[in-house]
Amino acid sequence: MDKAILISHSSRDDNFVGRLYEVMEAHGLFNWVDSRVLRGGSDLTQKIHTQIEKARAFIVVISPDAFNSAWVAEETRYASQIKEKRQDDYPIIALLREGIELGALKWIFSKEPVAIRVKDDKKGISAAMPHIMAALGENFPGDSGSEKTIYSEPVEELFLELKSPRIREKHGKRRAAAEAELTYIPAARGQPRIKCHQPFLFTSPLGPIEIEELSWYLERYYLWSADIFRIRAENVEKKLPEWGHALYQQVMPEDSCDNIISAWQEIGSHTERRFVIFVDFPQPKKNQNEEQRNEAEDASNLLLGLPWELIHDGNSYLFQGAKYVRVRRRLQNT
C-alpha cells in the first residue's frame, strides 16, 4: 500500500480507535493516519486537508461524541468533496458505534456513505472487518476465508514514556533529553506490570551528524551507489550496531532497569513483542518564553524521530530474528 487510510474520530473515541488499529494491523492494514495527530499548529487545516487528499480511503468513527466534534465534521465534509473530484476509487466508510442509527448520517453526509455497524469490543471490530476490508477493496465478505474472524494475539510490551523533553548540552554537544520511565507490560492478563526501580534521564546518544549520516544512507545512497560513496556507506554500516547499542543502554540502564531486562530476556519466541515510545509533548506554560517552547518542541520531535528500530542489545538487533520486536511511536492525542 503506497497510500494511507485516514481515520477521523472524536478524542473521546480514542480507546475504541486504539482497538480498531490493533485489529486492522492483525489484518495487514498497517498504513493509516490518525487525523487527531495533525490537530496542532497554525497550518493545522492545511495539514489535514493535504493528508485527506493523499489518502487512499477515509474512515470516520460516528459516535455520540463525534456529533460534538467540529473537527470530525470538517474532515468528513472535506473528504466528501475530494471523493467528488477524484477519478480513482476513494472509499468513504462510516463506522457506526453502538447506539448510532443510519439516520444520523444525514448530520454530515449529503450522500449516504458505506455504513458499517461496529460493536465496541475487539470481537465486535473483528466481526466487522470483512465488511471494512470489502469497502476498502481488499476483499469481499463472500470471498473464501474472508468471514474468518482474526483476533489480535497477546503482545509482550515495553513502554518507554519520555516526559519533560528538553535540549541538554554536555561536553559541547547538544542532545535531546527527557525524564524516562520504562514499563514492561506482560501479555498474560492478570500479570502485574514491572517498572524500573526508578525513573532515569534519557539522553539521545545520536546527534545531528549521526542522524544525517543515517538519513543519507537510507534515503539517498541507493540513488548514487558509485564507488566514490561506497566508503561512506561502509562506515555507516559499521556504525549501525554501535549506534543501536548506545540507544539500548540509554533505554535500559542496568542500574535502574535490571529487573525489566531479566523479565524481557525470559520471554519465549512464541509471543509477539512490541516496543512503544511515548513522547509527552510539552504543553505551553505561562512562564515559558517562545525560545523555551520551541526548544521543548524540537526536543520532542528529535526524540520521536530517533531510529528506535536500530536498538541493539549487544548480540542482535531487537527487530530481527525469531523474537523480533515491532516498534510503535506515540504522541499525546492533543
DSSP code string of 145-175:
TTT----PPPEEEEEEEEEEEEEEEETTEEE
CA atoms within 13 A on the CB side of 301: 8
Q: What is the pLDDT of residues 240-287, one digit of tens each?
A: 999 999 999 999 998 889 998 888 877 766 677 888 899 887 666 667
Of the listed ranges 84-93, 142-151, 165-174, the least confidently predicted one is: 142-151
pLDDT band of 104, cuts 50, 70, 90 = confident
Asked whether 92 and 125 are in contact (CB, 8 A), the reply is: no
pLDDT in tens, 107-134: 778 777 889 999 887 788 988 998 898 8
Quickly state the pLDDT bin for 1 (edges 50, 70, 90): very low
Average pLDDT, the chain: 82
For the chain, domains (ranges, CATH) are 5-136 (3.40.50.450), 155-331 (no CATH)
CA-angle at 312, arms to 310 and 318, nearest 5°: 80
- Tell me: pLDDT of 37 over 70: no
CB 89 within 8 A of CB 136: no
- Show Cβ contacts of residue 1 under 8 Å, excluding neighbours closer than 6 positions: 29, 30, 31, 56
Q: Which residue has the cell 547538544?
A: 174
User: What global pTM score does this model have?
Assistant: 0.54
